[in-house]
Amino acid sequence: MPEDLLNERYEKSGVLKFQNQIAWARQYLVWESLLESSKHGVWTLTNKGWQTKLTEKQGREIFLKWVKYFQELRESKAGGTVETEVDKIIQTQEENEPENTDTNIKPTLSEVLQTVSATGFEHLCGRLLREYDFENIEITQRSHDGGIDGYATLKLNPFVSLSVFFQCKRYQGTVPTEKVQAFIGVMETNKRSVEKGLLITTGTFAKAAYEIEKSNIKLELVDGDKLVEMFEKVELGVKPKTIYEPDLTFFEQYRNKTKNPN
């Protein structure tokens, strides 16, 4: 590559253009599962990457796809068009490297859970329960499930098993308390006996709902925060990231240290 191109910088940030664009191209290919998410500076094709050939036009389409994805996640806050969001993303790229803006651009787990379909969320909850040793997981048909999205069995020991119903609700706000009461009603009238009912949501529950939970030993409420914790604990669909912070008490002893005059 010509030296003048390699050394060209963005006027505002002073970041090298070529290296920055390469870094962002790599990041989009990682999100597209064409490159492994290896350490910085290492490029490794995935199996999908080995089998894929991209034209310049297809590369541009990948970029627009992810811009649209992030724009849809944030449209309640921004409300801009995809075109204006493209301009914002490009401006962000001109000022930062992927590692510095990853947390700002990548959606949170809660936001990702909000983007899956209703049926997808039911299957995802079933997958999560499997990670917590539930067995015989069955997702019901929505046309005749009677308010129950799935059944499962939790084997406590070789002699005792719990039969469990679960219902999954994608909510951004608070689940109406009457929905909780209706779920209890469905459990009590369902032909299949049940020892426990799980009501799982990406949102929150009202205080009244938790009061109902306290008075009903069969009911277990799983709100958005608890749901995220469950995903993180078994590392399902998430990758752990270690962050080091300075221990200020350790460095305090060196802050004002001076040479001994003797």
Judged by phi (left if over 0) then psi (alpha if -120 to 50, else beta), residue 50 lies in alpha
Residue type, 83: E
The enclosing domain of 158 has a CATH number of 3.40.1350.10
SS3 call for 138? strand
The answer to whether position 221 is within a domain reads yes
And the tokens for 214?
């306290």
Helix (H) or strand (E) holding 222: strand 219-222
Higher pLDDT, 203 or 172: 203
The rounded mean pLDDT for the chain is: 81
Question: Do 135 and 226 fall within a single domain?
Answer: yes
Contact predicate 164/137, CB 8 Å? no
- Phi first, then psi, for residue 14 (nearest 5°) are 80, 5
The answer to whether position 260 is within a domain reads no
Question: Do 55 and 143 fall within a single domain?
Answer: no
Q: Is 89's pLDDT higher than 80?
A: no
Q: Give the pLDDT confidence score for residue 204 in this predicted structure.
A: 94
Beta-bridge mates of residue 166: 150, 198
Give the global pTM. 0.58
Give tens-digit pLDDT for 20-32. 888 888 888 888 8
Contact predicate 109/231, CB 8 Å? yes
Kindly provide the b/e burial profile for residues 6-23, where b requires at least 16 CB atoms within 10 angstroms of the residue's own CB: eeeeeeeeebbbeebeeb
Give the whole-angstrom CA distance, residue 231 versus residue 195.
Answer: 24
Give tens-digit pLDDT for 188-212. 887 777 889 999 999 999 999 999 9
Question: Do 7 and 69 fall within a single domain?
Answer: yes
Task: Provide the residue range defining the domain that includes 46.
Answer: 3-104
For tokens 């205080």, the residue is 207
The answer to whether position 250 is within a domain reads no
Give the whole-angstrom CA distance, residue 52 versus residue 46.
Answer: 10
Domain count, the chain: 2
Q: Is 133's pLDDT higher than 60?
A: yes
Burial-class residue 101 by CB neighbours within 10 Å (0-12, 13-18, 19+): middle
Q: pLDDT class for 103, splitting at 50, 70, 90? A: very low
Q: Is 118's pLDDT higher than 60?
A: yes
Which positions ≥6 away from 260 have C-beta within 8 Å? none
Question: Do 135 and 229 fall within a single domain?
Answer: yes
Give tens-digit pLDDT for 59-70. 989 888 877 777
The answer to whether position 71 is within a domain reads yes
Which positions ≥6 away from 204 have C-beta within 8 Å? 171, 173, 174, 175, 223, 224, 225
And the tokens for 52?
């894929």
Question: What number of other Cβ atoms are within 10 A of residue 162's Cβ?
Answer: 13
Question: Do 83 and 145 fall within a single domain?
Answer: no
Helix (H) or strand (E) holding 164: strand 161-169
The answer to whether position 262 is within a domain reads no
Give tens-digit pLDDT for 30-60. 888 898 876 656 788 888 999 999 999 999 8
The answer to whether position 239 is within a domain reads no
SS3 call for 113? helix
Question: Do 175 and 94 fall within a single domain?
Answer: no
User: Over pLDDT 70: what percentage of the chain?
Assistant: 79
Residue type, 221: L
Output Rg (C-alpha) for the chain, integer angstroms: 25
Question: Do 203 and 140 fall within a single domain?
Answer: yes
Question: Do 175 and 210 fall within a single domain?
Answer: yes
